[in-house]
Every structure is written in structure tokens, then in C-alpha cells.
Amino acid sequence: MAKAKSNYNEKDMKELLKVMVDKEKQLLDTNMSTTAGKIKDVHVSRKIRIEIARIKTALKIKDLGEK
């Protein structure tokens, strides 16, 4: 079964920043593990990058909405 997408538009900016930092750390760890040959699913890093892009988009929308 597919994992449900998180709705980042409902979260506040502090939560989004925290989640983004966690995802960036996860991406770094995943990239290192993939390079070392520990991870067989090489598409995981792409999925994490897509999640980071979604978070950044939600942050930008919130930033523009406050102005």
C-alpha cells in the first residue's frame, strides 16, 4: 500500500522548518549509504528530494501569504 502524502500546507512554519532539517539529514545519510552500497533501493534519495521540494513550496506559500 502506498504511503499517504503529508499535507504540509496545514503545518506552521516552525514545524515545516524542523521537518525540512530532518529530511535534509535523512537525505545526506541516504546518499552516503547508497554510495557505500548499503542501500539497494537507489530511488529513496529522489523521493526524499521531492518531499523537501514540497516542504519548501509550502514554506514559500506561507511566507508570501504573511506579507
For 5-56, strand residue ranges (E) read: none
- Does residue 40 lie within any of the structural domains? yes
pTM (2 decimals)?
0.85
Domain that holds residue 18: 11-66
Burial class (CB in 10 A: 0-12, 13-18, 19+), 58: buried
Q: How confident is the model at residue 1 (pLDDT cuts 50, 70, 90)?
A: very low
30: exposed, middle or buried (Cβ count in 10 Å: 0-12, 13-18, 19+): buried
| Structural domain count of the chain | 1
Dump pLDDT digits (tens) for 11-58.
999 999 999 999 999 999 999 999 999 988 889 999 999 999 999 999
Does any domain span residue 56? Answer: yes
